[in-house]
Amino acid sequence: MTMRITLLAGGVGGAKLAEGLAAICPPENLSIIGNIADDEEFHGLWVSPDIDTLTYSLADMIDRKQGWGLADERHRVLAGLERLGCDTWMSLGDQDMATHIFRTQLRNQGVRPSAIAQTIAESLGVKAHILLPTDDPLQTRIKTEQGWLSFQEYFVRERCQPDVLDIRFKGAEESWPTPEAVQAIKNADLLLIAPSNPIVSIAPILAIPGIRQAVAETRAARVAVSPLIGGRTIKGPADRMLVASGFACNSLGVADSYAGLIDGLVIDDEDQAEREELEARGFQVLTTSTLMTCAEDKNRLAKDVLAFASTVGVEEAATC
């Protein structure tokens, strides 16, 4: 039997696990539902950071040093905009601009955002299915002492410095899930949640009406990979956002953030001490190294997760 895998993912951490899975699984059996709540318009262009990070990573075109954007990038367009007095705190490379121009042109023609994402992925040689959770506008809003900020304003412009007072997903209640995303969840043998930020990468996907219900009701084995190592994140504000959202900054807090949605949790070796309590709460637990610094790490973790998943909520073992 061949596993049909659906991965819920944000940007950098999600893309790393997606690469590991894509390296060992048939691409037609891998669906990745990416976060779109970081999307925002810059210079009249629609930018989709997490979807592009997933796409560029799977196309092996990503800037490996910074984890996002395209390799061998230049910023002449941005420099020109800056000379004209434009606000250029959002770093967009020249090749990256081409993606955003293409996306914006098609959106203005009324093409579904889901179809646009798939077209871009196919154009770059990506074989796995990159799916949007909704075609409707959805934006993470962060409340700080400065007021409400978009996620990119908080993350990039303010460098995650302001204290987080509240988090909302603007447009979530009015949105509709894409049929492709719902079907990928329902048809999956394994539903994975990537080591992405549970609060601002995964929660926006789950906030879309119909998505959380599909995850709760799927017959697939449901496994999350914790983004924490020793109670801290390698990159990004997930640890602080867990606390700001009322969760403990450890594997237990990650598990609580996915209450009712997962059967198993993969945690890092450094968090081994939390395993007993997680198991007491009814979770199956895999302890392994979750740090992904190279292709070998990504492939190894993907193999570990799949082997673990074959023991979680499935009637028979399955392999890619």
The contacts found for 61-70 with CB under 8 angstroms, 24 or more apart, are 61/124, 62/15, 67/11, 67/12, 67/15, 67/235, 68/11, 68/12, 69/93, 69/96, 70/95, 70/96
- Residue 199, number of CB atoms within 10 A of its CB: 21
Are 271 and 228 within 8 A, CB to CB?
yes
**Whole-angstrom distance, CA of residue 134 vs CA of residue 182:** 10
**Whole-angstrom distance, CA of residue 237 vs CA of residue 116:** 29
Question: For 38-79, how does the pLDDT look when each residue is reduced to its tens digit (9 = 90+)?
Answer: 999 999 999 999 999 999 999 999 999 888 999 999 999 999
Question: For 241-265, how does the pLDDT look when each residue is reduced to its tens digit (9 = 90+)?
Answer: 998 899 999 999 999 999 999 999 9
Beta pairing partners, 130: 32
Are 265 and 255 within 8 A, CB to CB?
yes
- Does this model's pTM top 0.85? My answer is yes
The beta-strand segments (E) located in 158-306 are 166-170, 190-193, 221-225, 228-229, 232-233, 264-268, 284-288
The contacts found for 158-162 with CB under 8 angstroms, 24 or more apart, are 160/236, 160/237, 160/240
Of 6, 3, 92, residue with least CA distance to 48: 92
pLDDT confidence band for 3 (50 / 70 / 90): confident
